[in-house]
């Protein structure tokens, strides 16, 4: 009796375990089949067709393939026509129809509070399998985690073989574009390109003030001092009061700023603070501890004493500093080409009749010259899974945008925008409009906002040709007429001052000093960055204000090295040796 009972139990257990095992197996293979099915057929098609093109013939996969991905919906790319979603919309349909590539989203989150980043990181930590392609725009820490996961393939060969000329040219503009994502010589992700030179500085000068004091725009630091002196003491605004200063600057956030920059003074002595510069020995060094910074500080102290820069400069960040210029108190300001769009309109309001013009960044008295900028034109990455059946499809996808939407020719399919009724509409008389508030009937299925199909792309904005923005404005600055849709749009929306400034930027592109360190925070940086930055900013400010003697710079350098700076320099150079 007892034996019988035991054997029944045994049989039962056995059966159960077999069922469980086979259940798992079939489940696994089912899942695999479901995801791989289109790829497999695509793969078979490859064997049938020419071996080299993976089934991609005449700009299209003859048998449609699938690319899996994940996505974080950003605010500007989350406006859909009624019935459309990120998974199924005019762009995914067009891509499927034209390229034979179907984009399949494994998951989609609304990207608030870095939800996309968090989900990606969770996937990484739980060792989940990554989709065929992952787009990421954001912090380098996550970029590094993605690379270090080992799930993605080097893309160097893919680019050589499949990227079209436009993309290749964009990448070749600055080889440093690969630095942040290079591991042991392998390029681990595709950079998503952005417009180049857009953050590089020019010297904006109040043209009416120059005329009032009877001077030419300065080209050297010495000439700049003459002009600033006239701006302080020569009553450039003709109101009979000594109430003006020379240069609008604010260094609350440091000495290398995106606007109201003061870094050019350091550049004129041969260094750039707050970043890693390449020295003559081919090593990276922190620009704030270079002896040249001491000379620049002496110069700035002189300017502070003479009233060329604001007594409150240390309290101002970039925006507050720019107000010195826009309220008509300062006559010179350094910043990007697009300042006429913001914040210079404020100047026109505050000081009617004020005129301003962009001039080249002035050099030092011994010919040294430098301004921060010139960083590689990239604003995100595409990671390709090393197990992807069709890694080359990602490049075909990106190529398509470069060819069709990045700079469409007049009268081509995408000349007016991506699709009528989505991002534009034509009025009966043939004029172009995107004003949905005024013509809601021309945008069926949409409310309040036009839909931007290009923003649904895996590359965030379709494709941007880095040199296009600058080239267009250089062309327009020379007086040529706007021809292509892109040129017309720029011509209609930008001011003449803006266009001329872009030409100044491009003419000076060789003076840019880029930040050579593009890696993640090193271990010592994590624990010591705060201490070191505080030390640098405090000493710099106090020297300029005369609260500490100039020679305290030397003590500061010594302290900086002792408190971790030396170690960080070592780590930074180790990274550079590996990355270059």
Partner 1 sequence: MGSAINEPLETTRRGKRSTQQERAKEKLSRTWPLHLMLLPAAIITLIFAYVPMGGLIMAFQDFKPYDGMLGSKFIGLEHFRFMFEYPDSKQVIWNTLIISSLKIVFGLIVPFAFAILLNEVRKMFFKRVVQTLVYLPHFISWVILGAILTDMLGSKGIVNSALNAIGLDSVFWLGNGDWFRFTVVVSDIWQNFGFNTIVFLAALAGVNPSLYEAAEVDGANRWKQTTHITVPAMIPIAVVVGTLSLGNILNGGFDQIFNLYNSLVYDKGDIIDTFVYRTAILNGQYSFGTAVGLFKSLIGLILIVFSYRMAYKYAGYRIF
Residue 205's DSSP bridge partners are 332, 357
Nearer to partner 1, 251 or 398 (CB): 251
From residue 389, how far is each of 50, 361, 366 by CA, in Å?
A: 16, 50, 58
Closest CA to 470 of 503, 494, 507: 503
Nearer to partner 1, 290 or 539 (CB): 539
Residue 359's DSSP bridge partners are 203
Nearer to partner 1, 174 or 346 (CB): 346
Residue 378's DSSP bridge partners are 193
Closest distance between partner 1 and the C-beta of residue 233, in Å? Answer: 16
Residues 76, 80, 84: CA angle, nearest 5 degrees:
145
Closest distance between partner 1 and the C-beta of residue 546, in Å? Answer: 11
Nearer to partner 1, 488 or 542 (CB): 542
Number of H helices, E strands in the chain: 19, 19
Closest distance between partner 1 and the C-beta of residue 527, in Å? Answer: 7
Nearer to partner 1, 449 or 534 (CB): 534
56 in Cβ contact with 91 (< 8 Å): no
Q: Which two tokens stand for residue 480?
A: 């040529």
Nearer to partner 1, 306 or 419 (CB): 306
Nearer to partner 1, 43 or 564 (CB): 564
Ramachandran category for residue 490: left, alpha or beta (phi over 0 → left; psi -120 to 50 → alpha) = alpha
Q: Rounded to an integer, what is the distance from CA 359 to the centroid of its chain? A: 25
Task: Give 420's Cβ-side CA count (13 Å radius).
Answer: 10
Cis omega before residue 343 (within 30°)? yes
Closest distance between partner 1 and the C-beta of residue 70, in Å? Answer: 15
Measured distance CA(457)–CA(148) in Å, rounded? 25
DSSP 412-477: STTSS-SSBTTTBEE-TTS-EE--TTT-GGGSTT--SS---GGGGSTTSSS---HHHHHHHHHHHH
Closest distance between partner 1 and the C-beta of residue 320, in Å? Answer: 7
Closest distance between partner 1 and the C-beta of residue 299, in Å? Answer: 18
Nearer to partner 1, 105 or 545 (CB): 545
Closest distance between partner 1 and the C-beta of residue 171, in Å? Answer: 30
Which residues lie near partner 1 (CB under 8 A)? 118, 121-122, 124-125, 141, 145, 243, 251-252, 310-312, 314-316, 320, 521, 525-527, 529-531, 533-534, 537-538, 540-542, 545, 547, 563
């Amino acid at each position: 009796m007892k034996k019988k009972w035991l054997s029944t139990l045994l049989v039962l257990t056995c059966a159960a375990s077999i069922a469980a095992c086979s259940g798992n197996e079939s489940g696994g293979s089912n899942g695999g089949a479901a995801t791989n099915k289109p790829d497999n057929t695509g793969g078979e098609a490859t064997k049938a067709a020419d071996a080299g093109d993976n089934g991609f013939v005449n700009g299209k996969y003859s048998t449609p393939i699938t690319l899996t991905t994940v996505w974080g919906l950003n605010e500007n790319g989350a406006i859909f026509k009624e019935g459309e979603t990120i998974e199924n919309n005019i762009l995914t349909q067009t891509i499927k129809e034209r390229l034979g590539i179907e984009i399949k989203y494994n998951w989609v989150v609304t990207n608030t509070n870095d939800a996309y980043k968090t989900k990606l990181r969770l996937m990484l930590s739980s060792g989940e399998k990554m989709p065929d392609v992952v787009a990421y725009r954001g912090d380098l820490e996550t970029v590094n985690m993605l690379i270090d996961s080992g799930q993605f393939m080097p893309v160097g060969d893919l680019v050589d073989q499949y990227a079209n000329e436009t993309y290749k040219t964009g990448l070749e503009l600055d080889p440093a574009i690969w630095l942040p994502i290079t591991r042991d010589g392998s390029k681990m992700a595709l950079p998503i390109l952005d417009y180049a030179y857009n953050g590089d500085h020019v010297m904006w000068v109040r043209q009416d003030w120059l005329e009032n004091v009877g001077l030419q725009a300065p080209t050297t630091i010495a000439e700049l001092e003459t002009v600033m002196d006239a701006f302080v003491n020569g009553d450039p605004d003709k109101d009979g009061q000594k109430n003006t200063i020379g240069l609008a600057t604010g260094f609350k956030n440091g000495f290398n700023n995106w606007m109201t920059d003061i870094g050019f003074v350091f550049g004129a002595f041969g260094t750039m603070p707050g970043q890693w510069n390449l020295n003559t020995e081919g090593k990276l060094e922190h620009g704030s501890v270079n002896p040249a910074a001491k000379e620049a500080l002496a110069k700035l102290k002189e300017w502070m004493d003479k009233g060329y820069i604001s007594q409150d400069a240390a309290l101002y960040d970039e925006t507050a500093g720019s107000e010195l210029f826009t309220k008509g108190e300062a006559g010179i300001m350094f910043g990007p080409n697009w300042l006429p769009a913001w914040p210079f309109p404020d100047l026109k309001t505050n000081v009617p009749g004020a005129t301003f013009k962009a001039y080249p960044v002035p050099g030092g008295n011994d010919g040294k010259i430098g301004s921060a900028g010139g960083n590689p034109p990239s604003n995100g990455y595409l990671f390709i899974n090393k197990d992807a059946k069709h890694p080359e499809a990602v490049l075909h996808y990106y190529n398509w945008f470069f060819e069709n939407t990045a700079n469409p020719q007049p009268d081509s399919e995408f000349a007016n925008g991506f699709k009528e009724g989505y991002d534009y509409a034509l009025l009966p008389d043939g004029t172009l409009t995107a004003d949905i508030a005024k013509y809601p009937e021309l945008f069926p299925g949409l409310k309040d906002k036009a839909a931007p199909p290009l923003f649904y792309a895996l590359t965030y904005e379709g494709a941007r040709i880095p040199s296009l923005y600058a080239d267009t404005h250089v062309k327009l600055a020379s007086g040529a007429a706007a021809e292509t849709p892109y040129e017309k749009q720029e011509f209609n929306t930008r001011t003449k001052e803006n266009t001329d400034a872009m030409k100044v930027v491009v003419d000076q592109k060789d003076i840019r000093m880029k930040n050579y360190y593009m890696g993640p925070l090193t271990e010592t940086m994590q624990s010591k960055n705060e201490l070191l930055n505080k030390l640098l900013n405090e000493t710099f400010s106090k020297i300029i204000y005369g609260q500490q003697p100039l020679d305290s710079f030397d003590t500061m350098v010594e302290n900086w090295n002792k408190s971790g700076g030396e170690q960080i320099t070592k780590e930074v150079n180790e990274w550079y040796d590996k990355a270059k």
